[in-house]
Homo-oligomer: A and B are copies of this chain.
Amino acid sequence: MGQTNELAHRMAGKTIKFVDASGNPVAGEEIEIKQANHKFLFGCGIFDAIDVANKNVPADRLAFQEAKLDKFLDVFNAATLPFYWGTFEPEKGKPRTKELKAAAQWLKERNIAVKGHPLCWHTLTAPWLLDMNNEEILKAQFARIEREAADFNGLIDMWDVINEVVIMPIFDKCDNGITRISKDLGRIGIIKEMFAKTREYNPDATLLLNDFNTSINYEILIDGCLNAGIQIDAIGIQSHQHQGYWGREKLEEVLKRFSHFGLPIHFTENTLTSGHLMPPEIEDLNDYQLSEWPSTPEFEERQAKEVEEMYSILFKHPLVGAITTWSFSDDGAWLGAPAGFIRKDNSSKPAYEVLKKLIKDDWCTNITSKTDDNGMVAFEGFLGDYDLLCGGKKVSFRLEKNAETEQFVI
């Protein structure tokens, strides 16, 4: 483990003492310590969980989706589910709460931390807001947050509360209710209101501000929020790189600027494709629509290298707490881009294998050892959940910073 020093912030040491029923140390006992989960969140957008949990697609499609999710579950421990207002509640008063609850529950049962995305955004918001005046829109937005934050409390305890506020009041691609109210409230005003409302209905949730803008616009906005007393639990940074990998220099520069606040940083929407690059002149990624955007062997190698470098840089940075790759699979990927870790036929790309090795091997702790004369085993491992196997018994524990010696009776 040559990386030990660079990753010291991701690790902790722990001493475990094994005693028998009478409290006497058990020496020379073989034990196994296996990391079952990471504290760090390795996530994907995994909207497919809705199909699988609700079984609401034809059998062959369901089998395909299940196979896809199996590959996801093999590597990742976090998922983002869609709460775009326009698709979550296309008809006013008929939200897809039941379906989304089933999906969140399905993921939770498989030990996946779930984030909802987003509670407030101008794009993909409910079109029926346009029939309301601004006072009514704000009221409806509050009611929507109350409902989702309360309904999913315990299932979803992490929310992208509000998305892309830098451009929200000047967004002019199409008229929408959220841009309208953001003009009234101002950027910091609308963030303040939406955070307060979400916090009210899920006080323990991790609440994010999220943006694709990584310029000083976003820095100044965050500075403004913090000075206005808004508690941001994590800074969300989108990094859709359809037009080419940022590279180490830009990535480290962005990290440096956003580290200034001392807050956790989540890379919320990461994309590195295994296809040709989107031309640089495209400003709004949504404007680039192709009938076919193939994944090629050459570009799959490039993607694997980029994934390895980018995840390594982020995992090394002490403030980064999560990386979510936006499209787990090319099947259903945003913009039809070959943005997934797996191909349209569910086969693994090199990036999948590279990342699996990092997450499940290089950054994972699995130890076999023997208790010493005092019945003790000391080890150092990556933070997270562990299974301890000893004499046919299994116990679980969590490895955190500044862990104390624990005693197990065997």
**Is A335 part of the contact surface with B, judged by Cβ < 8 Å?**
no
Q: Is B188 in contact with A223, judged by CB distance below 8 angstroms?
A: yes
**Is A220 part of the contact surface with B, judged by Cβ < 8 Å?**
yes
Q: Is B188 in contact with A224, judged by CB distance below 8 angstroms?
A: yes
Q: How far is the CB of A131 from chain B (nearest CB, A)?
A: 25
Residues of chain B lying within 8 A (CB to CB) of residue A224: 188, 220-221, 223-225, 227-228
**Is A263 part of the contact surface with B, judged by Cβ < 8 Å?**
no
Q: Contact check: which of B186, B220, B226 meets A221 at CB < 8 Å?
A: B220
**Is A240 part of the contact surface with B, judged by Cβ < 8 Å?**
no
A residues 180-217 near B (Cβ < 8 Å) are: 183, 186-189, 192, 215-217
Complex copy number for this chain: 2
Q: How far is the CB of A58 from chain B (nearest CB, A)?
A: 47
Q: Is A227 in contact with B186, judged by CB distance below 8 angstroms?
A: yes
Complex: chain B residue closest to A221, CB-CB = B220
Residues of chain B lying within 8 A (CB to CB) of residue A189: 223, 227
In the bound complex, how far is the Cα of B376 from the Cα of A31, in angstroms?
106
**Is A383 part of the contact surface with B, judged by Cβ < 8 Å?**
no
Q: How far is the CB of A343 from chain B (nearest CB, A)?
A: 40
Residues of chain B lying within 8 A (CB to CB) of residue A228: 224, 227-228
**Is A166 part of the contact surface with B, judged by Cβ < 8 Å?**
yes
* Size of A's binding interface in residues, CB under 8 A: 20
**Is A170 part of the contact surface with B, judged by Cβ < 8 Å?**
yes
Cβ proximity bits A147-179 to B, threshold 8 Å, 1 near / 0 not: 000000000000000000010001000000000
A residues 224-238 near B (Cβ < 8 Å) are: 224-228
In the bound complex, how far is the Cα of B221 from the Cα of A217, in angstroms?
8
Given the known interface contacts A216-B217, A217-B216, the answer about A223 and B170 at a Cβ–Cβ threshold of 8 Å is no
In the bound complex, how far is the Cα of B217 from the Cα of A217, in angstroms?
5
In the bound complex, how far is the Cα of B186 from the Cα of A228, in angstroms?
13
In the bound complex, how far is the Cα of B311 from the Cα of A307, in angstroms?
55
Q: How far is the CB of A168 from chain B (nearest CB, A)?
A: 11
Complex: chain B residue closest to A192, CB-CB = B227
In the bound complex, how far is the Cα of B188 from the Cα of A217, in angstroms?
13
Q: Is B223 in contact with A166, judged by CB distance below 8 angstroms?
A: no
Residues of chain B lying within 8 A (CB to CB) of residue A188: 223-224, 227
Q: How far is the CB of A191 from chain B (nearest CB, A)?
A: 9
In the bound complex, how far is the Cα of B227 from the Cα of A221, in angstroms?
11
Cβ proximity bits A222-260 to B, threshold 8 Å, 1 near / 0 not: 011111100000000000000000000000000000001
Residues of chain B lying within 8 A (CB to CB) of residue A220: 166, 187, 217, 220-221, 224
In the bound complex, how far is the Cα of B217 from the Cα of A221, in angstroms?
8
In the bound complex, how far is the Cα of B215 from the Cα of A170, in angstroms?
12
Q: How far is the CB of A230 from chain B (nearest CB, A)?
A: 9
In the bound complex, how far is the Cα of B224 from the Cα of A223, in angstroms?
7
In the bound complex, how far is the Cα of B186 from the Cα of A225, in angstroms?
12
Q: Which 3 A-B pairs have the closest CB atoms?
A: A224-B224, A227-B228, A188-B227
